[in-house]
Structure 1
Amino acid sequence: MIVVKIGGNVLDKPERLQRFLIDFAQLPDPKLLVHGGGKIASTIGQRLGIASTMVAGRRITDAETLDLVTMVYGGLVNKQVVAQLQAAGCNALGLTGADANLILASKRQVGAVDYGFAGDVAGSQNINVGVLEAFFAAGLTPVCAPLTHDGKGSMLNTNADTIASVLATALAARYLVRLVYCFEKQGVLWDPEDDASVIQRINSQTYSALKADGVISAGMIPKLDNAFAALQQGVAQVLICEAEALASITEDYYSGTMLQLA
C-alpha cells in the first residue's frame, strides 16, 4: 500500500501536476492520494478579498476562510485532480473527511494561537478504514482533500500532511504502508537556496537538532512532525521527495530524504 501526498508548487503548475498524476496512476494498486492546495486557496482568496494568515506553516481558518478552503480544496482542486487521473486511466474517487465519514476530527482548542476552524484528528481510530477497503475492493483510488468534519455538521480545515499521516497510520494496521510526501524540492535541504543540498536521511535525534538550528523551519515542520508520528505508529517507510521522483521509487531505490526513527 502506498499513500502519496502532493502539495507545494506542483499543484500550481499544470504541466508538472499532469506529469505527476500520470506517474501516480501507474503505481500498483491499492494506493491513495492526498492533496493540499494552500497557494491556490490564497490566490482565490485575494480575488474575493479574503486575506490569508499563516502561523508556523498552518493557516488560520476563520469562518470566511473555511468557506473558501471548502470550495477550493473539496471542489476545484479535488475534482481537477480526479478528472486528470481518470484521463490517465486511474479510476479515482474524490473525497473529503466528511464523505462516508472518512475522517472525524475536533476543532482545535484555542491556545497561544487561535487557529479558528482547524481540525485535529485524535488518532487512527477516527479513520473509517472499512470504507477505504471497500473502495479499494471496488477498484477505486481515493483522492482526499485536506478537509475533515466534526460529526456535528461542520467542516474543518486540516493540514494535508496530517491527513496523509493519519490515513497511512490507520491503514498500517492492515497493510505494509509506504508514505511518500511529494513536493517541488528534491527532498529536505540543508540550504533552501541550493536544490542539490538534499539531506538523505534524518532520524528523530537529528530532526530535533535541525529544528533547533533553524535548518528545518516553517511549513517543513508540520510535514516532518507528521512523518515521524506515522513512523512511530507503524508506517513502514516515509520518504520526502520531488514529485518527478515518484516513478523511480522502488523497494531498493529512492531519491530524496528517507526518515527513520533511529
Structure 2
Amino acid sequence: MSDRPIIDWPAWIASPPGRYVLDWEQEQLDRVVSDVFGYHALQLGLPQLDGLRENRMPCRGLLLDAQSVASAPYTLPRDAGIAGPVAPVWPAPAPRHAPEGRSVVWCDLLDLPLETQSVDLIVMPHTLEFTSDPHRLLREAERVLMPEGQLVILGFNSLSLWGARQSVGKVAGRPFLPGEHDLIAFTRLKDWIKLLGFELERGRFGCYRPPLATDQWLARYAFMESAGDRWWPIFGAVYMVTAIKRVRGMRLVGPVKVKKPVLAPGLAPAATPHPRNRNS
C-alpha cells in the first residue's frame, strides 16, 4: 500500500484492511437479510458490497448518491424495480462494481424518490459516514420504510483501535479510513434510531485485529477475532445494527378465533323436555 492518504472507497476497498472489513460485513449481511421477507428491498450506497445477495425479495434496488453527477434529470421507469412514484432522478452509468441484476438508480439520498411506507428492507453500509446530514438520511429511511420494516446499518466504531488511529491520522493529515466526516459512535446512533421510532433488534461488532496495512500483519493477529468477540466485543472496528420500525397505536393481529362458552365446573346444560312428557 502506498503512503498516500486513503480518502475514497475504491482505493480503500482494494487494500488489505478494506478486504478484511468487507468480507466480515458481507458474511453478516448474508446471514441477516436472508430472513427478511417482503416485496421491496433497497441498498443505499457502497456498490462494492452486495448487501442484498441472500435476500429473496422480488424487487431489489441499489440507490447511489448523484450529487457529483452533472446531468439532466430524467423520469424513472415504473418497471425499474424500485418502489415508489415516478420521480426525477439523475442518470449515470452503473458502476462497474454494481451487483449483477440490481436496478441501479442515481438520486439524492437525502431526498429519496420513493413513496412513504413503500419499502420493506433498507441496508445502509457506511452510508451515514459519507453524507453531510446523517440524521436527515435516517429520517428519509424511516419515512419510506413500511411499519415493521427493517433497517440495517453498518459503520466504523469510533471506540476501537481503528477509530483511534483514524482520529490521530486526521490530525496528522494521514487518515486511515475513508470518509470526510467524523465516525458516528454506536451509542449516538442508538439514540438517533430510538428517537425516530425504531426498536433496536440486534447489534453486533466485528473485526478485532489492529488497523494494519498488509495481509501479512493482519494474518498474524487472527487470534484476536475469537478473543475480541468474547472479552471486548464493544471494541470491534465495525458494527452492524438491525432495527425495526414501530408505529404507535398499531397492533398486528392474526385470525380471530371464536371461543366457545365455558361452563362453570359442576354445571350441566338443562335437558330439553321430551314432547311426550309435556302433556303429562
What TM-score, normalized to structure 1? 0.34
* Bigger-Rg structure (1/2): 2
Higher helix share: 1
Larger RCO (CA under 8 A, 6+ residues apart): 1
